[in-house]
Structure 1
């Protein structure tokens, strides 16, 4: 079983090396590493080039945003299972993808998700939030639950059958994709109860009040465009779900 890991990047020369090297360091698993660089100007491309053919596929060209870049990676991927790693993040331990592969070896499993830690950008040992996903129950989506997208891996057939990221949703295309795959199309998910990804604080969808308001709007659209009625109070339940993350440090 081959796992494709896609990283989209733009001007992240200080962190992209850590992200890619955490993938290359994975043990006991067949890997495909795909990096989509939106024509960076800060030396990011030099860092990628220095890794040479250790990177399975490198795409460098302007894009129309992160979801456009991730879709380019999806179209290029040849793995049986596909996941994503942001340019500021890294895989938390060397057998993370082997654990994903072990769970995906069950033909009844369509996808895997795990836990995630938000860490200080300058002091990675300092944990700001710990996102413990918990056992899977699709009904929890209606109470504001979602798994951390950087920990999610789906079989490639799900993308072939049900589509890529919706690029019209600027702040919640990852959430919409999860709703589409897991709620609308009933993906059978397995939970890996370990932190597989470390994320530096400061994501695009929660960087400002304006972005948070846009994300609330896009969260509701994520349901309606899939022919599903948005849960009542989603704008409140989804943020409230994050509160326990601050208590698990």
Structure 2
């Protein structure tokens, strides 16, 4: 039987992992302060290796009309180990009375004046004891399985920070739609691309980056997301809505948002001319002429230019494949080629002889996960290419892929084999498609040798050593599920398809069996929770096939067989209880109001 919330209560005071972020919540002289919850009675939440402790921080001010629904959405989560802390800024509308009514179930609440939203959140970070921290406003709600879904996708993807889509509710809930996916690109340095309240952030991230910049009243979340991206932390988004949001608040005032963005960009890009920065800070509307001028004026600042271009492609009425961003001066290092050393060095030498001087070549000693991770971290090209000397690209193919990536600001530029492939329907040139809508990208890893990947997209993936030979497949899957802008070309890239890392043979030793089960389990989570039922069913079928083979495996001793049988039983139980809404279709993510296929969960 699954544990319930009360099973994780303890009288033992926990460790304060986040104490280094900011000081404890101060007692403000001359102010009345109300506080309560279990913690005031000496009752805390304990950590558990099987049920990670998640702290949810809810800042509020005069939220009596909506707070109860928010509190109940946290209380109703399927994950039982949640510490809920409410930070009220000194409400006068009855919010304080509501908090008192929830005294028995809230872990802690406080009502006292603060210096704005992000000051309150910083104080909340100092009070948090969870291994993960989330933020939830007082007029928003989680879906019932939101926290559990985020936790298991954090484990399955290997990312540092995990988020999800959000459903935007209209006035009186008369209409709703799922927010458009933005992706994790250089746009994060200029605009808020992540659903902040859906983010599951490990406590160590706040210790590494610090808390929120309380000078901002509106854009503190944007500034924090920019620091996530600039620090190179990996991010994964669950492609289903786990949060319901209502419009309004300070962020609904574009003039105030633009003013804070001007300050944020002055901190992020101090060397860029202030007038040029101001063009990028304007959030009321997109002006192609203004962005073109800013790009032309900032050619000596490539990071700023890339952020401008990424932002231009992500805004309504912005750059598109028909009206692309203006051409810019290209960097000297266009491509990083990762080519592991192997027995057939002649083929490798022949391939390397076809490359130009603008290519950086990285030669890891092996093709294992650790070596590939190290090589990927060293890559400095605009794009990354995973080379297979046994299936070299055709002459000029890599240049064509890079040109298409520049033109469409694509994260992945994918080509076909000369012998034919399952490319775009009818052989049409397909651009800017969500990668996860192309089935082949979800089921194979051989496409890596016929694609160039924008470097930050490539570095956002994980080669997990625990998966052994399956690490490449998980890496390819997480990239395919994360990328938003994909250019798929029907032209041939390689003369013959590269060998796929589809390992259908029976695993040998116990480590091989464990890696196979882990791979299929993690792939099932990612595909199932993103709404790809058919692909997830294939992973479930593979688990059953392994189960039948495990019963007859002769290379395992009784202890190994028992350990693997327990792993198999846990995996089967997980597959038998999916969390995803069965009606959710990932093709409907990002449909604005009035678009066919709008989703109303």
> What TM-score range do you get, normalising by the shorter chain?
0.7 to 0.9
Aligned residue for 1:131? 179
Q: How does 1:85-234 map to 2 (within 5 A)?
A: 85-91=136-142, 93-106=143-156, 108-122=158-172, 124=173, 126-127=175-176, 129-133=177-181, 137-139=184-186, 141=188, 146-181=193-228, 183-206=229-252, 208-221=253-266, 223-224=268-269, 229-230=303-304, 231-232=307-308
> For residues 194 and 234 of structure 1, do their structure 2 counterparts lie closer, same or farther at Cα, with a shift above 3 Å needed?
closer
Question: SS at 1:174's partner residue?
Answer: helix
Question: SS at 1:147's partner residue?
Answer: coil
CA distance in 1, matches of 2:311, 2:262: 8
CA distance in 1, matches of 2:132, 2:174: 30
CA displacement 1:199-236 (0-9 Å, x = unmatched): 11113122x343233244245246337x9954336886
CA displacement 1:130-173 (0-9 Å, x = unmatched): 21326x54445368571111111110000011100011223211
CA displacement 1:7-51 (0-9 Å, x = unmatched): 000001000111111001001341010100011110001111111
Give how far 1:87 is off. Answer: 0.8
Give how far 1:238 is off. Answer: 5.8
Length, aligned pairs only: 242
CA distance in 1, matches of 2:236, 2:174: 28
> For residues 60 and 241 of structure 1, do their structure 2 counterparts lie closer, same or farther at Cα, with a shift above 3 Å needed?
farther
1:143·1:238 contact (CA, 8 Å) conserved in 2? Answer: no
* 1:240 aligned to which of 316, 326, 341: 316
Give how far 1:239 is off. Answer: 4.5
Q: TM-score, normalised by structure 1?
A: 0.85
1:112·1:192 contact (CA, 8 Å) conserved in 2? Answer: yes
CA distance in 2, matches of 1:240, 1:223: 24
Moved more, 197-206 or 227-236: 227-236
Give how far 1:112 is off. Answer: 0.5
CA distance in 1, matches of 2:136, 2:163: 13
2:130·2:203 contact (CA, 8 Å) conserved in 1? Answer: yes
CA distance in 1, matches of 2:127, 2:185: 30
Aligned residue for 1:39? 90
1:171·1:214 contact (CA, 8 Å) conserved in 2? Answer: no
1:169·1:218 contact (CA, 8 Å) conserved in 2? Answer: no
CA distance in 1, matches of 2:197, 2:162: 11
Aligned residue for 1:65? 116
Give how far 1:117 is off. Answer: 1.6
CA displacement 1:91-118 (0-9 Å, x = unmatched): 1x21111101112235932111110121
> For residues 167 and 247 of structure 1, do their structure 2 counterparts lie closer, same or farther at Cα, with a shift above 3 Å needed?
farther
CA distance in 1, matches of 2:267, 2:592: 23
2:59·2:138 contact (CA, 8 Å) conserved in 1? Answer: yes
* 1:30 aligned to which of 76, 81, 96: 81
CA distance in 2, matches of 1:7, 1:210: 26
Q: How does 1:3-22 map to 2 (within 5 A)?
A: 3-22=54-73
CA distance in 1, matches of 2:317, 2:220: 19
> For residues 189 and 235 of structure 1, do their structure 2 counterparts lie closer, same or farther at Cα, with a shift above 3 Å needed?
closer
1:11·1:41 contact (CA, 8 Å) conserved in 2? Answer: yes
2:56·2:83 contact (CA, 8 Å) conserved in 1? Answer: yes
1:113·1:192 contact (CA, 8 Å) conserved in 2? Answer: yes
Give how far 1:197 is off. Answer: 1.0
Unpaired runs of at least 5, structure 1: none
CA distance in 1, matches of 2:262, 2:81: 39
Rg (Cα) greater in structure? 2
1:205·1:212 contact (CA, 8 Å) conserved in 2? Answer: yes
